[in-house]
Amino acid sequence: MDLRDILLTIQYISILGLFLESWIILHKWRNSLHSYLFLSCAATFFNNLGYLFELKAGSQETYITALKLSYAGRVWISLGLFLFSLKLGKVRIPDWVTRILVMVHLGVYASIFTLESHKLYYSDYEFVQGEVFPKLFHGNGVIYYGFFGIQIIYILMGIGCLIRGFLKEKRSLSRKRILIVIFALTIETVFYIIQIAKLLKVTEFYDVTMFGFFLSTMIMLIAIFRYDLLGMTEIAKDFVIDRISEGIIAIDNEGTVDYFNKPAFRIYPELETGAESLPSGIVQAVTDHGTVTHEGRIYTPVENELHHHGESVGKLFMLVDDTEHYEYEEKLEKEVDRQTRRSKRLTREMMFTLSRTVDTKDHYTDGHSRRVAAICAEIGRRMGKSDREQVELYEIGLLHDIGKIGIHEDIIHKSTRLTNDEFAAVKAHTIKGYEILREITDMPELSQGARWHHERFNGTGYPDGLKEYEIPERARIACIADCYDAMTSTRTYSVPKKQSDVRAEIERCRGTWFDPQIADVMLTMIDEDKDYRMNETAELNDVWKNYDRLWGNPGEISGQ
C-alpha cells in the first residue's frame, strides 16, 4: 500500500468515526452543551468529506466544488468548539455576541462560495495535478487572514476558559472531563500549527489538520463513554437531589416508593408512614394531564423513566409548582375577555356611527341601515345560520350603503327623475363602499355586502352584472332586505307601499331579482307580520328575534 492509499484510508476512517460520534451526540442530545459539540462534530464530518472529494478531484472545477463542500463544515468547526469550551468552562457570553459570530462565519462562507468572482478569500489560484494528490495553489485575501485570526483567538480563549474552569472545579470527574477536552483541543492546535508552518513534508500535498480534527474527536468520543461527557451524571444528581425545590418521588418497576424528598412529603404526608405505592392523586393527575392542589398551591406532576446502563429501573415523578403560572393564565384570560368585550363594543359603536352618518344625509332614509341590518339577520336566522353568521349579516346591513357618503346631497335629495349621469353617480356608491370596507381585512363580508347588494339574480344588476350563485349569499340576502325597506319606507320620490303590494312585488321578482330560496323566507316573514309592524317604524327586536341576545348585549355574542 503506497502513501496515497494510506492517507485515503485514514480519511475514510476519519469520516466513519466522525459520523459515529455525530450520531452518538445526536442520540444523547439534551442541552446547549450537546448542541455546540454536535455543531463542531458535524462540521468536521462535512469538512473531511469535502476534503476527500478534493483529494480525488480530476479537474479544477471539481476541486473547487469539493472545496466549497469542505468549507461548509470547516467554517463552523472552530466556532462550535469555542462555544463548547465556554459552556464547559462555565463562561457566559451574551446572546447577541453569539449571533454576531454566526453572521461573521456566514459571511466567511459566502466569500468562499463565491470565490471565483472576487479575490476576498483567495487572491488567485491555480489547480495542479500533483504526484500524490491534486493541489490548488493560491494567494490569500483579506477574509482569509481575518478568518485565520479569528480561529487563533478561538483557540486561545477556548483553552483559557477551560483552564479557568478546571482550576475552579472541585469535583474529580468534572476536572477529568475538562482536562481531556483541553487535551483534544491541544492536539487539534498542534496539527493546525504543523500545517500552517509546513513542519512536515506531508503537508505539501495533504492537510494534516484533517487528521488532527479526527484525533481530537476520537478523544472526545472516549470522554463521552469514559467520563460521561454528555450525561453529566454528577451535576444532574447534585441538582436534582440537593438543590431542587420541587417534590420528587422515585418508584421501582414494581411500583414501590424508593425515594421522596421533603417537598413531596409536605404534599403527601402518608409517604413518611411507609407508603409502598405512589399516591393515587399523582397517578390520576398524570393520566388526566391535570394538577395536584395542596395548601393553595398548584402542582403539575411530570413522569419520567429512569434508566441505568440502558435498562429501565423505575420512574421519577416531579411535582412542579405551577401556581404562579396558573394565576397568570387566569388573569390573562380575564384581561383578554375584558379587552375582547371592549373591542366588540367599540366596533359596534363605530358601525352605528357610520350607518347613522350615511342615513342622516337624507332624513327620509334615517334608520334605513339598521332596519336592513335587522331584516338581513332575521333572514339568516330563519335559514339556520349560526349566531356568529347572524351577527355578520347584521353588520353587513348596517354598512351596506356606506358608499353613499361620497354622493352629493343634491342628488340624494332630488325629487325628480335622475339624469343618466346622476344615476351613474348613485350606482357608484357600491364601488365606493367596497373600496372603503375592503381595508377591514378581518371582516371581508362587509365589503361583499357593500359591492353586490344591488346585483340581481338574473344578472341585470350592478356594478358587476353577477348572476345567480356568482353573487355571494350575504349580498343576495342584503339585496332583498334593502328592497323591502325601500318599498316600506318614506322616500323623496315615494311613499310606503301597502303590505300586499310589497308582497306581490317580491313574489313577482322571485327568481329574477331575488334568490328564490331567500325570497321564500322573506315572503314567510311578510305573511307572519299580520299587523304590518315590519316597516319604517319597526323596532329592531321586533324584526330580528335574536337582536337583544346577540347585538343588544355584546358580552353574549357567540364565537361559533
Statement to judge: residues 95 and 131 lie in one domain: yes
Residue 326 lies in a domain: no
Q: Which of 280, 301, 321 is the C-terminal boundary of a domain?
A: 321
The residue type at 279: P
Q: Which of 236, 261, 295 is the C-terminal boundary of a domain?
A: 236
Quote the domain boundaries for residue 491.
351-556
The pLDDT of residue 222 is 72
Q: 520, 360 in Cβ contact below 8 A?
A: no
- Domain count for the chain: 3
Residue 426 lies in a domain: yes
Statement to judge: residues 79 and 181 lie in one domain: yes
Global pTM?
Answer: 0.45
Q: Write the CATH number for 514.
A: 1.10.3210.10
Nearest to 228 by CA among 400, 50, 24: 24
Statement to judge: residues 167 and 260 lie in one domain: no
Per-residue pLDDT of the chain (560 residues; tens, 9 = 90+): 688 888 888 888 888 888 887 887 777 666 676 788 788 888 888 988 998 999 889 899 999 999 999 999 989 988 888 888 887 777 778 889 999 999 999 999 999 999 989 999 998 888 888 888 898 888 999 999 999 899 889 888 888 888 887 887 666 667 777 888 888 888 888 888 888 888 888 888 888 888 787 787 777 767 766 666 655 444 444 445 444 567 778 777 777 776 777 778 778 777 766 555 677 778 778 777 888 887 778 888 888 887 766 777 778 888 887 888 777 877 888 877 787 677 777 777 778 777 777 777 665 556 888 899 999 999 999 999 999 999 999 999 999 988 888 888 778 777 778 888 888 888 999 999 999 888 888 888 899 999 999 999 999 999 999 999 999 999 999 999 999 999 998 776 678 899 999 999 999 999 999 999 999 999 999 999 988 888 877 788 788 988 888 876 544 443 33
Residue 333 lies in a domain: no
Q: Write the CATH number for 291.
A: 3.30.450.20
Residue 227 lies in a domain: yes
Residue 122 lies in a domain: yes
Statement to judge: residues 100 and 151 lie in one domain: yes
The pLDDT of residue 550 is 85
CA distance readout (Å), 361 to 354, 368, 411: 11, 12, 11
Residue 528 lies in a domain: yes
Q: Write the CATH number for 171.
A: 1.20.1070.10
Statement to judge: residues 142 and 264 lie in one domain: no
* CB-based burial, 218-257: b 16+ in 10 Å, e otherwise: bbbbebbeebbbbebeeeeeeeeeeeeebbbbbbeeeeeb
Statement to judge: residues 232 and 261 lie in one domain: no
Q: Which of 190, 215, 236 is the C-terminal boundary of a domain?
A: 236
Statement to judge: residues 426 and 512 lie in one domain: yes
* CA distance linking residue 301 with residue 441, whole number of Å: 43
Statement to judge: residues 145 and 224 lie in one domain: yes
Query: What H or E segment, with its residue span, contains residue 260?
Result: strand 257-260
Statement to judge: residues 254 and 314 lie in one domain: yes
Residue 99 lies in a domain: yes
* CA distance linking residue 335 with residue 120, whole number of Å: 56
Tell me the H-state helices in 28-124: 32-55, 60-88, 95-113
Residue 332 lies in a domain: no
Statement to judge: residues 67 and 123 lie in one domain: yes
